[in-house]
Amino acid sequence: MTRGRFITLEGGEGAGKTVQAARLRDALEARGVGTVLTREPGGSPGAEEIRRLLVSGPVERWEPLAEAMLHAAARRDHVLHTIEPALERSDWVISDRFVDSMIVYQGYGQGADLEVLERLSALSLGGFAPDLTVVLDIPVAEGLRRAGARAESNRYERMGTEFHERVRQGFLARAQTDPERFAVVDATAEPDTVGRAILRVVLERLTVPFDG
């Protein structure tokens, strides 16, 4: 049985990751590819419990390394109980955020040591990594404007503009250092245009089976 592929969508607040993850799922399923759509933090029952601790409450609720540890614990549960089983049964998995968000948000954004975060990632994941990571890039002001139009805000959206600028630059820096895994897509365009750009990247980078 052919193992599935794992795609992650990353980017700052308001970049449209959730919408585009669903669009990509629909496009893959239209090609006959079994697809699982998931998210971080969360994506499994245990990880969803941890998510509630991470996204609610005051901005200063967690010290950055402690926060990263919570993310890592949730991610390990997510991989063990949702992602790996899906890949083993040949489904493709699309995740709205994954490990790069932890390294960027807690590292570049909040100042936790990047080397420590990389070691924490290795400890929790071993050699497991996405096959493809698409970074949806958007200027901070526009992303926060979009995020602010939503009914509810989370802890991360309430962090300052300078934090979000560091996050944006962190994602771009990671994409630059690993161009084989990462692709950057301009998220300022209309959703249909962004969706086509993401699908084009997937079709170029990964072998997509076609059924009928």
Is residue 31 domain-resident?
Answer: yes
Is residue 184 domain-resident?
Answer: yes
SS3 43: coil
Query: 122: domain CATH number?
Result: 3.40.50.300
92 and 135 Cβ atoms separated by less than 8 Å:
no
Query: Can you read off the two tokens belonging to residue 129?
Result: 């990594």
Is residue 107 domain-resident?
Answer: yes
Number of domains the chain contains = 1
Which amino acid makes up residue 68? A
Is residue 12 domain-resident?
Answer: yes
DSSP E strands in the chain: the ranges are: 6-11, 35-39, 92-96, 132-137, 182-186
Query: Can you read off the two tokens belonging to residue 20?
Result: 């585009």
Is residue 92 domain-resident?
Answer: yes
200 and 152 Cβ atoms separated by less than 8 Å:
no
**Which of 80, 79, 84, 77 lies closest to 3, judged by CA?**
84
Q: Residue 36 and residue 94: Cα distance in Å, rounded?
A: 6
Which residues does residue 9 pair with via DSSP β-bridges, in sequence order?
96, 134
Kindly report the backbone phi and psi dihedral angles of residue 150, in degrees, each rounded to the nearest multiple of 5, phi listed first. Answer: -75, 160
* Total Cβ atoms within 10 A of residue 50: 20
Is residue 198 domain-resident?
Answer: yes
125 and 79 Cβ atoms separated by less than 8 Å:
yes
Is residue 60 domain-resident?
Answer: yes
Is residue 190 domain-resident?
Answer: yes
**Which of 158, 156, 211, 179 lies closest to 17, judged by CA?**
156
**Amino acid 212: pLDDT:** 44
Which amino acid makes up residue 32? G
Which amino acid makes up residue 188? T
User: Nearest 5 degrees, angle CA 61-CA 125-CA 71?
Assistant: 10
What is the full DSSP assignment across 136-171? EE--HHHHHHHHHTSS---TGGGS-HHHHHHHHHHH
The pLDDT averaged over each successive group of 10 residues in the chain (212 residues) is: 93 94 97 96 96 86 94 97 97 98 96 97 95 97 85 76 96 97 97 97 88 51
Quote the DSSP letter at residue 61. G
147 is in which domain, residue-wise? 6-205
